[in-house]
Amino acid sequence: MARLSLEVVNADTATFDCSFGRGCDGLCCRNGRPSVSPKEAALIKKQLKRVMPHLRPSARKIIEKEGFLSRRMKLGRPMVRVTDTWCVFFNKGCVLHKIAAEDGDPLMYKPVQCAMFPLQLDTDNNEWYVRQWHYKGEDWNDLFCLNPQNTKRKASESLAGEIAMAETGVADKAFLSS
């Protein structure tokens, strides 16, 4: 179903403030398992030589043996592997983010589903929303930063970059079945 126009339905009421490096070490990478398109997978594959030395030993081992994609599928695409309950690309933060930041754009190698977090497309209603505790069937109701009481900062301000990215339409397909 094609998206008609971008609408972040709860942008005015939702709050969000990512505190990575200010008390949070990247909890959202725990069992993250984004699914990736062939284009995203190719982009990561091209950087793998640079990425590997930064990974946890268990992540390196599993990628060397089986690759970074599992056989599990989400939205018709393979999901990134997890080891010791963390995304294989996690090591005190997202290694893909770190490598991409060195190249000038921290989001350029990151799966779109990760880059957009916590902005989400509700494919039933074809509308964007900010994930918040107990909103639209949210199941991550113990992730502190999705708690609207966690901060007074409006998500419409803190997620301006993610919202701008959604407006371009590039992220739509990451949340739709292929």
Contact positions toward ligand SF4, by CB under 6 A? 18-20, 24, 26-28, 117, 143, 145
CA 17 to chain centroid, in Å, comes to 15
Q: Which is nearer to ligand SF4, 99 or 146 (CB)?
A: 146
Report the candidate in 100, 97, 44 with the shortest Cα–Cα distance to residue 68.
44
Report the candidate in 145, 115, 130 with the shortest Cα–Cα distance to residue 27.
145
Look at the block and give the residue holding tokens 């990628």. 63
Q: How far is the CB of 27 from ligand SF4 (least distance, A)?
A: 4
Q: How far is the CB of 32 from ligand SF4 (least distance, A)?
A: 9
Report the run of H or E that residue 122 belongs to, with start and end. Answer: strand 119-122
Q: How far is the CB of 93 from ligand SF4 (least distance, A)?
A: 8
Q: Which is nearer to ligand SF4, 101 or 143 (CB)?
A: 143
Q: Which is nearer to ligand SF4, 103 or 144 (CB)?
A: 144
∠ CA(125), CA(13), CA(34), 5° rounding?
Answer: 55
Q: How far is the CB of 131 from ligand SF4 (least distance, A)?
A: 10
Q: How far is the CB of 90 from ligand SF4 (least distance, A)?
A: 10
- In DSSP terms, 120 is beta-bridged to 129
Report the candidate in 119, 116, 121, 142 with the shortest Cα–Cα distance to residue 131.
119
Q: Which is nearer to ligand SF4, 126 or 154 (CB)?
A: 154
Q: Which is nearer to ligand SF4, 9 or 24 (CB)?
A: 24
